[in-house]
């Protein structure tokens, strides 16, 4: 039995999403309450959304009834990012479209396409994704980017943060922002002027504090995926690019990413590995 606000949400969302993609039964709630980690939360409502309109409506209603929302792609996360005891929006199937651009140097994708599949698509171009998490054969690009999953090879120079170019985002109020579209950015400037001013004020405040800025540069010069990525405030000036890069590693807490555009990296024809020993682990 759903609690009052969840029942109201469930009744209203059916005007946008058919009941066959709204789950409240115990079996599926239990299954989707598990990711690759060792935590378990049981969702109240699971939504298998298939387009932006459905996600928009779900977020608007969740905001109306003050209900938390969590996003899930493949659910390969190890620390509980893909589970909730509230509303779970699943964006895997139906979110797999892509477009290879600039002879493979750039690729535009929806969040539900598996990372390994993207690399297969890019093989004819001699390119691949920068991020290469160990779970790439199962992990989807939305989760890879939103968790800043990077793997052992890309370091900090070819990870999601360094290779993302733009994104389509849906905020909690249902607003869509496409940072790759001048028209969308101009519309957002008009409708969310105070939001942009706040981003700019935070940027200027961080940059004005030299000791803080230096500490941020040092902290993110090494692999660091704990907490929100705050380095965009010193790495970028454009508020829209700051917003895009704030999404990397945000675990879906700031917005839903319905589409993203990334630079690809060279996929060398010949590869080798080596084991290297050091006298100590002190960074010089």
Give phi and psi for 197, each to the nearest 5: -60, -35
Residues 65, 84 contacting (CB under 8 angstroms): no
CA neighbours closer than 13 Å in the CB half-sphere of residue 89 = 35
Question: Rounded to two decimals, what is the model's pTM?
Answer: 0.92
| 29-79 pLDDT per residue, tens | 999 999 888 889 999 999 999 999 999 999 999 999 999 999 999 999 888
Which ranges of the chain have pLDDT less than 50? Answer: none
What was the pLDDT predicted at 204? 98
Coil, strand or helix at 103? helix
Compute the distance between CA of residue 258 and CA of residue 52 in angstroms, rounded to an integer: 7
Closest to 23 in 3D by CA, of 33, 38, 35: 33
What was the pLDDT predicted at 284? 65
What was the pLDDT predicted at 226? 73
What was the pLDDT predicted at 121? 98
Instruction: Provide DSSP, 86-124.
Output: SEEEE-STT---EEEEGGGTEEEE-TTSBHHHHHHHHGG
Coil, strand or helix at 39? coil
Q: Which domains does the chain have, with CATH numbers?
A: 4-90 (3.30.43.10), 98-266 (3.30.465.10)
Instruction: Provide DSSP, 262-276.
Output: EE-EE--SS------
């Amino acid at each position: 039995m759903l609690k009052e606000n969840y029942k109201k949400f469930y009744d209203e969302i059916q005007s946008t999403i058919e009941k066959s993609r709204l789950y409240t039964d115990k079996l599926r709630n239990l299954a989707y309450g598990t990711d690759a980690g060792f935590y378990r939360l049981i969702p109240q409502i699971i939504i298998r959304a298939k387009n932006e309109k459905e996600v928009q409506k779900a977020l608007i209603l969740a905001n109306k009834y003050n209900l938390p929302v969590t996003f899930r792609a493949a659910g390969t996360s190890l620390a509980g990012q893909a589970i909730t005891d509230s509303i779970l929006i699943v964006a895997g199937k139906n979110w797999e479209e892509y477009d290879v651009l600039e002879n493979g140097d750039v690729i535009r994708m929806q969040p539900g396409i598996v990372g390994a599949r993207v690399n297969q698509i890019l093989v004819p171009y001699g390119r691949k994704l920068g991020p290469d998490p160990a779970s790439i054969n199962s992990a989807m690009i939305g989760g890879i980017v939103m968790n800043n999953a990077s793997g052992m090879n890309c370091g900090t120079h070819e990870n999601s943060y360094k290779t993302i170019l733009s994104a389509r985002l849906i905020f909690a109020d249902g607003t869509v922002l496409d940072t790759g579209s001048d028209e969308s950015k101009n519309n957002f400037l008009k409708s969310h002027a105070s939001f942009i001013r706040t981003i700019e004020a935070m940027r200027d405040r961080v940059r004005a504090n030299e000791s803080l800025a230096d500490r941020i540069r040092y902290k993110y010069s090494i692999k660091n995926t704990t907490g929100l990525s705050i380095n965009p405030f010193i790495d970028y000036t454009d508020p829209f690019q700051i917003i895009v890069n704030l999404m990397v590693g945000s675990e879906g807490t700031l917005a839903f990413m319905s589409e993203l555009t990334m630079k690809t990296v060279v996929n060398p024809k010949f590869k080798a590995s080596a084991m290297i020993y050091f006298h100590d682990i002190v960074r010089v």
